[in-house]
Amino acid sequence: MTDQPPPYGQPYGQPPGQPSGPPPGGPYDSQWGYGPPGVPHGPQYGPPRNDDNTWAIFAYIGTLVVSFIAPLVIYLVKMRDAPFARFHAAQALNFQITMLIHLLAVAAVCVPPTIITKQPAFLVPLIFPYVELLIGQWVFLILGAVKAGKGQYYRFPTFFCFRMIR
Mean per-residue pLDDT of the chain: 79
Question: What pLDDT does 13 receive?
Answer: 58
Question: What pLDDT does 43 receive?
Answer: 47
Question: What pLDDT does 57 receive?
Answer: 93
The string of pLDDT tens digits covering residues 29-59 is 555 555 555 555 554 555 667 688 899 999 9
* pTM greater than 0.75: no
Kindly state the percentage of the chain with pLDDT values over 90: 33
Task: Let me know: does 88 contact 148? Beta carbons within 8 Å.
Answer: yes
Averaged pLDDT, 149-164: 83
Question: What pLDDT does 27 receive?
Answer: 57
Task: Let me know: does 6 contact 20? Beta carbons within 8 Å.
Answer: yes
Q: How far is CA 108 from the centre of its chain?
A: 27
What whole-number distance in Å separates Cα of residue 155 and Cα of residue 126? 26
∠58-35-159 over CA atoms, to 5°? 55
What whole-number distance in Å separates Cα of residue 91 and Cα of residue 98? 10
Phi, psi values for residue 38, rounded to 5°: 85, 0
Question: What pLDDT does 48 receive?
Answer: 66
Residue 23 scores a pLDDT above 70: no
